[in-house]
Amino acid sequence: MWLTPDDPVRHFGARQVSEHLFIGNAICAVDARGALLLPAFVRATLERRTDARLILIGSHETDRCLVAYDPGHAQTLASDCRRRRIAEEASAPNDHHVRERRIFGFVEQVGFDARGAAMLPPMMRRRARIDDAALVIGTGGAFEIWNPQLALESDDPDLRELAAFHLDYQQAA
């Protein structure tokens, strides 16, 4: 028997998983104070994942961007750190200190209002070189916040294409 997209079990299961992931992308204006209106795909996911109007913003592990997530995702990150520390124990016994410091120390809690307006902390804006625009990209359990110009310079061709599209579209509007 073939399952269709309307099959309640299959549809509900896929929807249930995807509703709790950050899926999408958008370019957002950032004002001089660092205020950013979170895009609809981020606000919708946050509403389903948590009642707290709070996100954590930190430095990305390898890229010159920020990574943001709801407080509940921090436990997933802690589990991942533990797993990676055990796996790397023999080959790189001290790498976990740097990783944990970046994930749990180089992070700031940011509140947002009912409209989804959040203030990017000055240190985080400086770290990611966020000026008057931010490219927001869903990555499943979290979302990235990029300076669109830095995204254009990335080694990732898909990221470059996404940034170019949004910047071209923004200029045309």
pLDDT at position 36, please?
96
Selection from 25, 27, 15 nearest residue 169 by Cα? 27
Residues 6+ apart with CB under 8 A from 7: none
Q: What beta strand segments (E) does the chain contain?
A: 25-29, 35-37, 54-59, 66-69, 107-111, 117-119, 133-138, 143-146
**Residue 94 belongs to a domain:** no
Residue 6 has pLDDT above 70, yes or no: no
CA distances from residue 153 to 4, 60, 81, 115, 149 in whole angstroms, order as listed: 42, 16, 29, 32, 7
pLDDT at position 24, please?
95
**Residue 7 belongs to a domain:** no
pLDDT at position 172, please?
67
Q: Which domain holds residue 63?
A: 22-71+108-172
How far apart are alpha carbons 44 and 46 in whole angstroms?
6
**Residue 40 belongs to a domain:** yes
**Residue 76 belongs to a domain:** no
Strands 107-111 and 54-59: antiparallel
57 burial level (CB within 10 Å; 0-12, 13-18, 19+): buried
**Residue 53 belongs to a domain:** yes
pLDDT at position 106, please?
76
Domains of the chain: total: 1
CATH of the domain at 160: 3.40.1550.20
**Residue 116 belongs to a domain:** yes
**Residue 119 belongs to a domain:** yes
pLDDT at position 103, please?
63
**Position 9 confidence tier, pLDDT thresholds 50, 70, 90:** very low
**Residue 3 belongs to a domain:** no
pLDDT in tens, 81-128: 677 776 777 776 666 666 666 667 678 999 999 999 999 999 999 999
